[in-house]
Structure 1
Amino acid sequence: MPPRTLRKLLLTCLHLALFLSLSAFAVAADKYELKVVTDRPDALYKTGETAKFLISVLKNGEPDSGYSVEYFVDDFISGAADFPKGRLTLGKKPILSLPVTSDKPGFLRCVVKVGAPVNQTKIAGAGFSPQEIQLSQPVPADFDQFWADQKQQLAQIPMEAKLTPVKQKDAEVEAFDVQVDCAGGAPVSGYFGKPKDAKAKSLPAILWVHGAGVRSSSLANAVKGASNGMLSMDINAHGLPNGKPNQFYKDLADGKLKGYRQEGRESRETVYFRGMFLRLVRAIDFLTSQPEWDGKTVIVIGHSQGGGQALAAGGLDDRVTFIATGVPAICDHSGRAAGRINGWPKLVETGADGKPDPTQLEAAAYVDAVNFATRAKADAIMSVGFIDAVCPPSSCYAAYNQLKGNKQIINKPLMGHAAPADIQKAFFDAVLEHVEEQAKK
């Protein structure tokens, strides 16, 4: 064999050997998983009981030892004292048991970090008698009168609606882009769908409301409700035109609406959520004015900011018969006044002394979804994530505990701020069940 051919053959063999070696290494690479859970699957305890956070590292699916674990426990308030924190090494027992307790209703979370080769951070939450979480401060004495006045102002504005037909794929549904005149600085803007050829007084109504951000209304939601035999309307949170290019909404989010969450928070008359909540009432006005409405069923459904809106709608408008509120925001603005974390959007600033701004605190009470929950008589379903730092579980339970109708809550001990598919399905199943029950009345 010529020397040049031999060299080529040797190089080919070396490359093949290197490839096989690297492939074998890739197959054999260790897989790590940091796990943090509680010693009870539901992560629920009574005040004074001891909960245990169980910390372990799995290597290729099996508990392993020798890892340095950094951890801290708090009540969702950064820098909270009197809770465990430190660094430990997983020893012969590869599961670290970290006992904690709380003498007041609320939630604790355990945040754990492990460095190389694991390089993961995980969080678990535990609830202590959350059904006993109460209002962080009393509902203002003139709360009802204030909102009665706001609705009276709304009633002075004729409900002029502009409907523009829009195309969609369901041949059994009619769909429209809708704008309805409203108080509060912007119209109701949404998509509206209804089954074709529906009889008068035959259909329940559902209103879909949005989480935080700036976007168009959802035609898909409007069609989904209509496909399931409802008058169905999805409205965006800001009364914006629908179906515009993404850049249109991005420009607003980066510009005029960038700080909407805290806009006008020094006064109940100017706080941004006042207008958002009036649009809820006007949207319900529109739905219940349709000749096909059954005269008895109104459902409001949303997650995060939409969950807060659903609670507000239930407290503002006694036509609402069912509230589906996922990880609700706009709750417990005054939480810090009671020594617990306040919910999104942290409407009330906390000073260096740890106390809430008194002017903002007073105004925020009139747009707190917890206070609307005290007035809501509708049936309800709520989801809550025990490690949700955006809408902390204590703020969600503060609202849930005030609801007066038949209610259920979906607890997710390892869920943060999310609306996963299983919760969305559970919510819509509950909506359909409510529709069925209403039809029997």
Structure 2
Amino acid sequence: MPYPLLIPPTEIISMKKLNFITWLFVATLAGCQQQPKEAITTPLHQMYSEAWKFYAGEGVDSLWQNPDYNDAAWQTVSDLQLLKDQYVALKNGFGWYRKTVQLNEKLQTAMHEQGGITLHLAKFAAAEEVYFNGQLIGKTGNFPPDYTGYNDGERSYFIPEEAIRPNSDNVIAIKFFDGWSAGGFLASGTTEPFSLSSASTPDKVELTIAVADSDYIFLSPGPVKVSVSIENKNAWAVEGVLTIKLTTDTHDSITTYKLPLTIKGKTTCSDNLKAFNSLTFAPGFYRYEVSFSRKDSTVVYKEISLLIGVDPEKINSPVDAQADFKEFWDNNLQELAKVKPHYKLTLQPEYSKLDYNIYVVEMRSFGNELIRGYYAQPKKEGKHPIIVEYMGYGSLPYPPNQTWDGFAYFILSIRGQALNLPYNHYEPNWITSGLDNKDYYYYRGAFMDVVRALDFVSSRPEIAADKIGVRGGSQGGALSFVAASLDKRVKAAAPNIPFLSDYRDYFKIAPWPRSDFDAYVQAHPEAKWDDIYTLLSYFDIKNLAQWITCPLIMGFGVQDNVCPPHINFAAYNQVKSEKHWVAGAEYGHSTGAAYYDEVMQFFKDKLK
């Protein structure tokens, strides 16, 4: 009969600022007894042409996923090229692919034997829903307004036999979103990225991790509780090894456990398979890497990685500002004040049909640089509060809100980016442009552009200059910190997933932008890392954040590997004014609709 298994800690780890004691309890593994092994065969693949039908748009309330929909008017595109290389654009970040396929006799036979087939998309971006004959068979991520972040990994989806028409046409429809680029298939070359194959055993094994705290952030004195569940959808038993690796977010190993398991067909080891139920962590973020692999083999059935946070407001990332830090920024503000802005507004009629007149604003900024932005001037009379929005790194320009919600809006394009991209004269990677001297570093001028945007909105007679809020995500989150730090005209700040923070730790956690700096150092042998970190300390928002005096709300994605939560809190923890944070448990480089709704209420409360 099944019996409880107790696996005591194999070691006690002592690390700087981390005392970790763990017991792994695996109790009453129902359904995990010895069963016959499956016959292991090489999957049979059927390849198809590169041609797909494509249409740009979200297709709300459409029938575009239905197999009987007539897509003859859609344009034909190739999955061997990026959409942008085919001069194809998305609409509001959305697009659809459709393709009609048939199964050959060998694949039909394999389908009957395995109970289904597997659809392979190779590398794809960034979030999608996949339909087969009108049935949703799988998805990656979520669409706006609940976008969970960018994902460009390889995709495979199991299609059950009952969804397949074996001797007829089958229609694949893919709805996808990518707010950063053209999205869709990321293959580029001669290797066909799309295929159907016979299902293999790993295709029908599901591995999930459940976290006891809904936002994945644990606060003292409560324990950290994480459990693992494995579902075997095969008719036969699977025999393998469950591996749980625990690391810091900087990839320092803490401990690894391995547990042999045999899971009967059509059963789940779930409620009674609980891992790491009693944990003691120092403040920080921690990564669980969980995999279930075939015994005595390199074949991985499934693997998952996720992060959790523990007492993030107690993370210690001390200020490392140089002695002349304040003098440096005071001098920059004085230099900016000498530059006459020469504001020029050009009406955009196509965006001005509702409750705002939308203008492109041109103005001179630090170093006499010409910068631009979109201004939404309310048609409603009176003085209005305004939200100044700062954009993400490399984001394409977009107009402001056009339906009245109580606020005026200004969306700034900092130098060289967005509306200013056609006139960019900086190095291709802005973050390493001028890295040899802080006086010529890209973000010196860019941070002053942030302040010039506040000069503009304060000059407008229809704007209540004592009711200015700032917001932005990623680079825009960092620039929101900058605005609130350098200018007391900001009365409320709402940064999310902020960039440009705690560089020494940042470069240990995330692959980018460290990769851009590595390339710079390789191209400039005279560059020294200590000198680079010294320069970056002048442009580190954790060093600026100590000057913030207005209320602040910060959103972050716990799974973010672009601007990881550790660096978000490095800046947040230096803020001494009223503040609070909102966590997106499963979000990557995004925060979602709940945070947006809370931010809008925050602005309404603080900018009355």
Q: TM-score range by the shorter chain?
A: 0.7 to 0.9
Taking the aligned partners of 1:258 and 1:240, their CA distance within structure 2 comes to 11
| 2:327 equivalent to 1:149 | no
Stretch of structure 1 that moved more, 33-42 or 270-279: 33-42
1:411 aligns with 2:583: yes
Q: 1:343 to 1:361 in 2, by over 3 A?
A: farther
In the alignment, residue 113 of structure 1 is paired with which amino acid? S
Partner of 2:402: 223
Question: Superposition pairs for residues 204-219 of structure 1, below 5 Å?
Answer: 204-215=385-396, 217-219=397-399
Alignment of 1:160-171 (within 5 A): 160-167=342-349, 168=351, 170-171=353-354
Q: Which moved further from structure 2: 269-278 or 89-98?
A: 89-98
Aligned counterpart, 2:370: 187
Deviation at 1:36, TM superposition (A): 1.8
* 1:394-433 mapped onto 2 (5 Å cutoff): 394-433=566-605
Matched residues in 2 for 1:193 and 1:120: separation?
Answer: 49
Q: CA deviation at 1:96?
A: 4.5
Any residues of structure 2 matched to 1:30-429 within 5 Å, and which? Answer: 32-45=205-218, 51-59=224-232, 66-78=239-251, 80-81=252-253, 83-85=254-256, 87-90=258-261, 94=270, 95-98=273-276, 104-114=282-292, 120-167=302-349, 168=351, 170-184=353-367, 186-199=369-382, 202-215=383-396, 217-219=397-399, 221-223=400-402, 227-240=404-417, 242=419, 257-335=427-505, 341=509, 345-346=513-514, 357-429=529-601
More deviation, 38-47/174-183: 38-47
**1:194–1:269 Cα change, 3 Å:** same
Deviations 1:142-194 (CA, angstroms, capped at 9, x unpaired) = 22211110010000001211111102154321111111100156333111111
Report how many aligned residue pairs link the two structures.
Answer: 399
Give the secondary structure class of the aligned counterpart of 2:313.
helix
Tell whether the 8 Å contact from 1:314 to 1:372 is kept in structure 2 after alignment: no
- Secondary structure of the residue that 1:321 maps to in structure 2? strand
Q: Give, in whole Å, the separation in 2 of the partners of 1:288 and 1:35.
A: 51
1:35–1:122: 8 Å Cα contact kept in structure 2? Answer: yes
Q: Is the 8 A contact 1:329 1:343 kept in 2?
A: no
Aligned pair in 2 of structure 1 residues 433, 27: CA closer, same or farther (>3 Å)? farther
Equivalent pair of 1:335/1:343 in contact (CA under 8 Å): no
Identity %: 24
C-alpha separation in 2, matches of 1:343 and 1:320: 33
- The 1:114–1:306 alpha-carbon spacing in structure 2 relative to 1, beyond 3 Å, is farther
Relative to the length of structure 1, the TM-score reads 0.78
Question: One-letter code of the match for 2:415?
Answer: H
Structure with greater helix share of residues: 1
Tell me how far apart the structure 2 counterparts of residues 418 and 257 of structure 1 sit (CA, whole Å): 27
Aligned equivalents of 1:47, 1:363: Cα separation in 2: 36
Runs of 5+ consecutive residues of structure 2 not aligned to the other structure: 1-104, 117-159, 163-198, 264-268, 522-527
Describe the superposition over 1:233-269 as per-residue Cα deviations: whole angstroms up to 9, x where unpaired: 112233557399xxx69xx7xx955311122233321
**Hey, what's the Cα distance between the residues in 2 that align with 1:100 and 1:158?**
62
Q: Is the 8 A contact 2:205 2:232 kept in 1?
A: yes
Letter in 1 for 2:595: I
The answer (yes or no) to whether the contact 2:556–2:568 under 8 Å persists in 1 is yes
AA aligned opposite 2:224: A
Cα distance between partner residues in 2 of 1:159 and 1:57: 62
1:4 matched residue in structure 2: none
Superposition deviation, residue 341 in structure 1:
4.3
| Whole-Å separation in 2 of the counterparts to 1:410 and 1:422 | 9
Q: Distance in 1 between matches of 2:228 and 2:319?
A: 37
The separation in 2 between residues aligned to 1:420 and 1:34, in whole angstroms, is: 25
